[in-house]
Amino acid sequence: MGAVYFYHLTRQPLEHTLPVLLDKAQQAGWRVAVRGTDPAQLDWLNEKLWLSSEEGFLPHGRAGGPHDADQPILLTTGAEAANDPACVMAVDGASVDPDEVAAMERVCILFDGNNEAAVQNARGQWKTLTEAGCAAQYWSEESGRWQKKAESQA
Structural domains of the chain sorted by starting position, each given as residue range(s) with its CATH number in brackets: 3-152 (3.40.50.10110)
pTM of the model: 0.93
Mean pLDDT of all residues in 14-34: 95
- Cα-Cα-Cα-Cα torsion 22, 28, 33, 36, nearest 10 degrees, comes to -40
- CA 74, 78, 79, 82 dihedral sign is negative
Q: How would you classify residue 133: left for phi > 0, otherwise alpha for psi between -120 and 50, otherwise beta?
A: left
pLDDT at 18 over 70: yes
Mean pLDDT of all residues in 28-37: 97
CA pair distance 105, 113, nearest whole angstrom: 25
Over residues 69-113, the pLDDT tens digits come to: 999 999 999 999 999 999 999 999 999 999 999 999 999 999 999
CA pair distance 12, 8, nearest whole angstrom: 10
Residue 50, CA distances (Å) to 16, 57, 93, 154 in order: 12, 4, 23, 36
pLDDT at 154 over 90: no
Mean residue pLDDT of the chain comes to 93
